[in-house]
Copies of this chain bind each other. A is one copy, B any other.
Amino acid sequence: MAELFRFTLHATDGRARTGVIDTPRGPVRTPAFMPVGTAATVKGMKPADVRASGADILLGNTYHLMLRPGAERVARLGGLHRFMDWPHPILTDSGGYQVMSLGDLVKVREEGVEFRSHLDGTRHFVSPERSIAIQQLLGSDILMAFDECTKHPATHAEAARSMNLSMRWAKRSRTAFLERRPEGAALFGIQQGALFADLRRESAERLVAIGFEGYAIGGLAVGEGQAAMFEVLDHAPGQLPADRPRYLMGVGKPADILGAVLRGVDMFDCVLPTRSGRTAQAFTRAGTLNLRNARFAEDMGPLDPGCPCPVCARVSRAYLHHLFRAGEMLGPMLLTEHNLWHYQEMMAGMRAAIAQGKAEAFARDWVQAGD
């Protein structure tokens, strides 16, 4: 097999890195932000508009897609890319995180996880092998190993037990992946270990021994706070191979992302820009704004004067305020679009800053100005 998946570093600045992940469906510029397309759609956005915002890659949720419309059905319909009209790269999570957030509906065993659907209560079972099969049926470009997201807070013993399970599952995920690997597809391992440095190190070593195309840092952004997360990130990325992409799952606020980039992380996903867009929260270079606020009722200015997005170019804060007050769909649509542009502008700025050796200054200025 030709090496269709490849990570190339273009520049580093301290621990921050910029480069490109080549995939059979096109390049992903790093550091990269992946909009979340939970149910085969980035909520309220047409694919072409997601693309225009600067997104190279989307994240799809295995848990949601396996329940509706179903992985086999998506496969029969030609795969997720064709189904949702996104011909560019897609990363799928393993389903583990969302299954385990179902709480009482879940039973974790060595073999895998049994759970009831939040939609209709039907019983389902996901193992590392089934998770990989689902992701392959979806046609994912970057698959994630099936893991247990260790709950927070966890004792050292709890975190060790959970990490050990995830490492056994990582090995099984890898084996399943290699059995019928689509050309150019990649599988990422996920480091666990909660906030414990020794467990994080052990997890990294065991993943590297298995060998993956990339490595995720899991079990963070689960309520530990930015300081604790950054403490882990002061060491975790360095425990993972420098020549492979590093992905911090489920992160985050702009300041979280920039801080993680400065610590050596290359990839991110988060529902924040899209979910905020639906609840009238705008990210701007001057901080977050709630568009429902009465002070915007006659504000003729653009949402963010420094933003090049189509929304800021064409309509006023007053109009967005009106749309949210009137409960019009166009409000969430436009604000989601702006927020995705905001995130992608931030990533583009950070990539350029790294190349120029100004990563710290860029991150400091962006965070001080706004978020």
Interface residues of A (CB under 8 A from B): 39-41, 43-46, 68-69, 73, 76-78, 83-85, 297-298, 300, 314-316, 318-319, 322-323, 325-326, 328-330, 332-334
Q: How far is the CB of A36 from chain B (nearest CB, A)?
A: 13
Give CA–CA (A268, B54) in the complex, Å: 40
Majority secondary structure of chain A interface residues (helix, strand, loop or mixed): loop
A330 contacts B298, CB within 8 Å?
no
With a cutoff of 8 Å between Cβ atoms, the chain B residues found around residue A44 in the complex are 329-330, 333
Known: A46-B333, A319-B40. A68 touches B326 (CB 8 A): yes
Give CA–CA (A73, B322) in the complex, Å: 11
| Copies of this protein chain in the complex | 2
With a cutoff of 8 Å between Cβ atoms, the chain B residues found around residue A45 in the complex are 330
Query: Among the interface residues A68, A322, A333, which one has the most CB atoms of the partner chain B within 10 A?
Result: A322
B84 contacts A319, CB within 8 Å?
yes
Q: How far is the CB of A210 from chain B (nearest CB, A)?
A: 35
With a cutoff of 8 Å between Cβ atoms, the chain B residues found around residue A334 in the complex are 46
18 contacts between A and B (CB under 8 A): A39-B326, A41-B328, A46-B330, A46-B334, A68-B325, A69-B322, A73-B297, A73-B318, A77-B298, A77-B316, A77-B318, A77-B319, A78-B300, A83-B319, A83-B322, A84-B319, A85-B315, A329-B332
Give CA–CA (A146, B142) in the complex, Å: 61
Q: How far is the CB of A98 from chain B (nearest CB, A)?
A: 15
With a cutoff of 8 Å between Cβ atoms, the chain B residues found around residue A297 in the complex are 69, 73
B315 contacts A76, CB within 8 Å?
no
B329 contacts A43, CB within 8 Å?
yes
Q: How far is the CB of A79 from chain B (nearest CB, A)?
A: 12
Q: How far is the CB of A198 from chain B (nearest CB, A)?
A: 43
A68 contacts B328, CB within 8 Å?
no
Give CA–CA (A43, B300) in the complex, Å: 22
Give CA–CA (A76, B73) in the complex, Å: 53
Give CA–CA (A298, B83) in the complex, Å: 11
A77 contacts B300, CB within 8 Å?
yes
With a cutoff of 8 Å between Cβ atoms, the chain B residues found around residue A325 in the complex are 68-69
Give CA–CA (A298, B76) in the complex, Å: 8
A323 contacts B41, CB within 8 Å?
yes
Give CA–CA (A226, B77) in the complex, Å: 41
With a cutoff of 8 Å between Cβ atoms, the chain B residues found around residue A332 in the complex are 329
Query: Among the interface residues A41, A297, A334, which one has the most CB atoms of the partner chain B within 10 A?
Result: A41
Give CA–CA (A328, B46) in the complex, Å: 12
Give CA–CA (A371, B336) in the complex, Å: 36
- For A64, the closest partner residue in chain B by CB is B326
With a cutoff of 8 Å between Cβ atoms, the chain B residues found around residue A323 in the complex are 40-41
- For A47, the closest partner residue in chain B by CB is B314
A330 contacts B85, CB within 8 Å?
no
B300 contacts A330, CB within 8 Å?
no
A85 contacts B314, CB within 8 Å?
yes
With a cutoff of 8 Å between Cβ atoms, the chain B residues found around residue A330 in the complex are 41, 43-46
B318 contacts A83, CB within 8 Å?
yes
Q: How far is the CB of A173 from chain B (nearest CB, A)?
A: 27
Q: How far is the CB of A85 from chain B (nearest CB, A)?
A: 5
A83 contacts B41, CB within 8 Å?
no
B322 contacts A40, CB within 8 Å?
yes
